[in-house]
Amino acid sequence: MAAVLLTGFQATTWIDPNPAAELIQMIDAERQAFAPAIVHPIILPVDFEAAPRELAAAVDCHAPEAIISFGVSCSRDMICVERVGLNLDDSSSPDNAGVRRQGSRIVEDGPVGYWSTLDVDRTVAALQAGDLRAVASGYAGGHLCNHTLYTTLRLLATTQRSHIKAGFVHVPPAPDQLQPDWPIPEGMTTRQLFEAAQVVVACCGLSAGPGG
């Protein structure tokens, strides 16, 4: 069966618990819901250096056919399927190691961007058909979410593994986490995010052959 690597992030100074981590924990507890795919859920550190390293190790370990990363956005009230990872770290917020990267290339001699290799439009349509608020997005932000998308796609492109599908999905905070200054009227529960993850995996069109 096809293996799928699913990632989220640890809690941060601005959101704890992290809805993406809560999602990954639910996936870990209910892996059978993704059959026939074999899912490998992991939680990445909010660390510019460590996150790509741990994701690369998981790719080596599990040899997935697809990699889908999830991260929270406190400015979006819907599921956002990202189209592109840009070669740019640009956020005033530090990572959990205290590192702040503003106006910095992720890879000095790397291309400006890499396109997601998920079928973004098909995925968004399937999410909407399942009564889940969803939209395609052309900007994954300037922090760890975009950083992870770019470094994942670069890893695959530079190690002869471009056959592995990869992309990033932003999710909103939980309803009980909403703050008055956030432009988010509803949020989404972990169960809603879990249902969304099932749709995203199903839209990958994975083979039924052996996986990791």
Q: Which of 152, 203, 141 is nearest to 44 (CA)?
A: 152
How far apart are the C-alpha atoms of 156 and 26, rounded to whole Å? Answer: 27
Structure tokens at 30: 């209910």
Alpha helical stretches, state H, the chain: 19-29, 50-62, 120-129, 144-158, 190-202
Please state whether the peptide bond connecting residue 172 to the residue before it is cis, i.e. omega within 30 degrees of 0: no
CA 86 to each of CA 8, 44, 146: distance values in angstroms, whole numbers, following the listed order: 19, 20, 7
Q: Is 22 a catalytic residue?
A: no
Neighbours of 156 (CB within 10 A): 20
d(CA 21, CA 156): 24
Which among 40, 82, 143, 147 is annotated as catalytic?
A: 82
Q: Is 203 a catalytic residue?
A: no
Tokens coding 201: 């995996």
170 tagged catalytic: yes
The catalytically annotated residue of 74, 147, 170, 204 is: 170
Q: Which of 22, 62, 143, 145 is catalytic?
A: 145
Residue 201: which residues within 8 A CB-CB, separation 6 or more?
Answer: 4, 6, 34, 37, 39, 66, 68
Q: Just list the catalytic residues.
A: 82, 145, 170
